[in-house]
Structure formats: structure tokens, C-alpha cells
Structure 1
Amino acid sequence: MAKTSPVQFFRQVRQETAKVTWPTRKETAITTGMVFVFVIIMSLFFLLVDWGAGMLVTSIIGLGG
């Protein structure tokens, strides 16, 4: 494997970075909003599953009721 100098390496990095298609501000905002909505939905789902499992275990063991 050929060794490259640090200067050549950073030139190559800059060339590759120029090829990247960066998302627009609008795309980033929409994606961020979707992530937050999904996190809220999943939090509610796991809250309900945890509550249901707790009720089931409590009813089986017979404690706390």
C-alpha cells in the first residue's frame, strides 16, 4: 500500500467532501421533526408496554393490590 503525505491526504479529503450532496436546510428540518415525532411515539409505546407488563406481573404475584 502506497503511503501518502499528510498534505496529499487532506487534498483528497477535500476533493471527496466536494462530491458529497449535502441536504438542504428544509430537508434537515423535516428529518429532525420526523425523528422527534418518532421518539415521542416510541416513548408512549414503551410506556404503555411497561405499564401493561407491570400490571400483569402485579396481578400474577398478587402484590400491591
Structure 2
Amino acid sequence: MNPDFTETQQLLQTTVRQYVEDEVPFDRVREHEQKRAADDKLWEAISNQGWLGIPLPEAVGGGDAG
């Protein structure tokens, strides 16, 4: 881990890494890459985790990390 990250950032990094290792097998990535198509289920899962809003201001419901 990067020692310059805050504890919260390190937790997020660990959480995302674990999610990708568990839920996004390489074959799935390759399949969507070959199709040149987005993986809608993956984007939905990422959105449901709230990760897309992390850089947005708190005033609009984001994580204020941008």
C-alpha cells in the first residue's frame, strides 16, 4: 500500500481490489474487451457500491474525494 494514502483511501483500495479479484474474472474482462462493449452488470455493481460518486462533492451526495 502507498504510505501517502489516508487510512480511508487504503481501505477503499483494499475493498476495490478484493471485489475485483472475487467478482471480475479475467475471462469476463477479455470477453467484454473483445466485444468492445461495457459490462453493464459490473457498472451497476460499481454504482451500487457508491464508488462512482467518490469524487463528487458531498453537497450532491458524493464522497468529496475529488
Do Structure 1 and Structure 2 share a fold, with TM-score over 0.5? Answer: no
Q: Name the TM-score, length of structure 1 as normaliser.
A: 0.29
Q: Provide TM-score, normalisation by structure 2.
A: 0.29
